[in-house]
Amino acid sequence: LTKFTLTCSAASSSSDPLLVKAARGDPVNRPPAWMMRQAGRYMAVYRKLAKKHPSFRERSETTDLIVEISLQPWKAFRPDGVIIFSDILTPLPAFGIDFDIEDVRGPVIQSPIRSEEGLKVLHPIDFDKLRFVGDSLKILRQEVGGHAAVLGFVGAPWTLATYIVEGGTTRTYTTIKSMCHTAPHILKTLLSHLTKAIADYIIFQVESGAHCIQIFDSWGGQLPPEMWERWSKPYIKEIVNLVKKKCPDTPLVLYINGNGGLLERMIDTGVDVIGLDWTVDMADGRRRLGSGIGVQGNVDPAYLFSPLTALTEEIQRVVRCAGPKQHILNLGHGVLVGTPEEAVAHFFEVARSLKFDTVSQ
């Protein structure tokens, strides 16, 4: 408990990593940069390791492998944020739901929850089953030694529920969307359970060493905005409330894929930074969100396949539009498979070379 108070309530200090300063809105002389899915299949070292350890669950649930994979982009590109190699589904077995990740199909949940009976498997989150996450974050914090922020992450209740109800990836979300009308109480019970478990899981990650947490509501943008207000936002808001009570200084970033229709509605979730996907113009995003909140993003991941001069210009344009305050430079979604590693290296070189007094005129 003592350790918890120490790590969670540390007030901001000048030794905080650049990314933490920017996320809080403190002055910085360039935007910190990291990439969603910066560890993964576009890297040759990752593909080599994945051949040796073909099970995704093994790769993402073994401390040594988690640390090694998380550090692969850190060693190669020196990003300002080192995200733990994990998945939004990783905590599910710790509260009663088993899953697998198959090579072609992606995430698979053998027993989707769609009924009162199905809810019976749920139990409070058991952190004994997630020791590899806590241990990895502790080691990552030592390994990057304050030179970068260690990033933890979670899935938002709605996004996790899409997998738990549909049984895997979906294009149409028809089962879960119809459940909003045919079995609202079952969906609400599931979302409430996820809310408590995910809030506890964030606090666990912060206690273990995460400087900053990203909440992925990746499929929140699949809901009509009015439905997002009812079926996703209240649960995110509750998570933010619960976490901010215990860890008031830990910045929270909220990312929704396809959030052009939701931006204004995201502001009062209470998060510190809003991730923009690449379909929103950064200048429009800033204008719509106002000055009280940070932004992250939003270079189109496809720019990493373009000539490096075009990539450089686009990074500079995005940074100019975002302005010097409270911006974390990132892509508008994850790095694509097949992305040249030279382009990723270039992205980070350009990021490090930026100076607000020269690019922001």
Query: Which position among 16, 38, 276, 319 is part of the footprint of ligand 1CP (CB under 6 A)?
Result: 38
Q: How far apart are CA 182 and CA 341, in angstroms?
A: 47
Site string for ligand 1CP, 204-223 (x = CB under 6 A): ------------x-x-----
Of 154, 155, 142, give the one whose Cα is nearest residue 74.
Answer: 142
**Segment contacting ligand 1CP (CB under 6 A): 12-20, 81-89, 245-253, 272-280?**
81-89
Both tokens assigned to 75: 């060693």
Binding flag, residue 42, ligand 1CP (CB under 6 A): no
Query: Which position among 8, 76, 87, 306 is part of the footprint of ligand 1CP (CB under 6 A)?
Result: 87
Neighbouring residues of 324: CB distance < 8 A, sequence distance ≥ 6: 27, 28, 31, 356, 360
Both tokens assigned to 182: 């045919």
E strands, 109-211, are 149-155
Binding flag, residue 41, ligand 1CP (CB under 6 A): yes
What b/e readout covers 27-57, taking b as 16+ CB neighbours within 10 angstroms?
A: ebebbbbbbbbbbbebbeebeeebeeeeebb
The size of the interface with ligand 1CP (CB under 6 A), counted in residues, is 21
E strands, 41-102, are 81-83, 100-102
Give, as ranges, the residues between 163 and 192 that touch ligand 1CP (CB under 6 A): 169
Helix or strand or coil: residue 170?
A: coil
Binding flag, residue 353, ligand 1CP (CB under 6 A): no
Query: Which position among 20, 24, 33, 56 is part of the footprint of ligand 1CP (CB under 6 A)?
Result: 56
Binding flag, residue 297, ligand 1CP (CB under 6 A): no
Q: How far is the CB of 354 from ligand 1CP (least distance, A)?
A: 22
Q: How far is the CB of 40 from ligand 1CP (least distance, A)?
A: 4
Residue 248 to residues 9, 24, 240, Cα–Cα distance (Å): 7, 11, 10
**Segment contacting ligand 1CP (CB under 6 A): 39-47, 118-126, 289-297, 338-346?**
39-47
Q: How far apart are CA 149 and CA 83, in angstroms?
A: 8
Binding flag, residue 18, ligand 1CP (CB under 6 A): no
Binding flag, residue 39, ligand 1CP (CB under 6 A): yes
Of 218, 303, 225, give the one whose Cα is nearest residue 253.
Answer: 218
Which CB atom, from 96 or from 220, has the smaller least distance to ligand 1CP?
A: 220
Binding flag, residue 50, ligand 1CP (CB under 6 A): yes
Q: How far apart are CA 219 and CA 159, in angstroms?
A: 5
Q: How far is the CB of 255 from ligand 1CP (least distance, A)?
A: 7
Both tokens assigned to 113: 């929850």
Q: How far is the CB of 219 from ligand 1CP (least distance, A)?
A: 7
Q: How far apart are CA 14 and CA 330, in angstroms?
A: 23
Q: How far is the CB of 290 from ligand 1CP (least distance, A)?
A: 25
Which CB atom, from 88 or from 137, has the smaller least distance to ligand 1CP?
A: 88
Q: Which residues does residue 216 pair with via DSSP β-bridges, in sequence order?
A: 155, 255
Binding flag, residue 83, ligand 1CP (CB under 6 A): yes
Give, as ranges, the residues between 133 and 162 that touch ligand 1CP (CB under 6 A): 153
Q: How many CB atoms lie within 10 A of CB 86?
A: 24
Residues near ligand 1CP (CB under 6 A): 36-41, 50, 56, 83, 85, 87-88, 101, 106-107, 153, 169, 216, 218, 257, 334
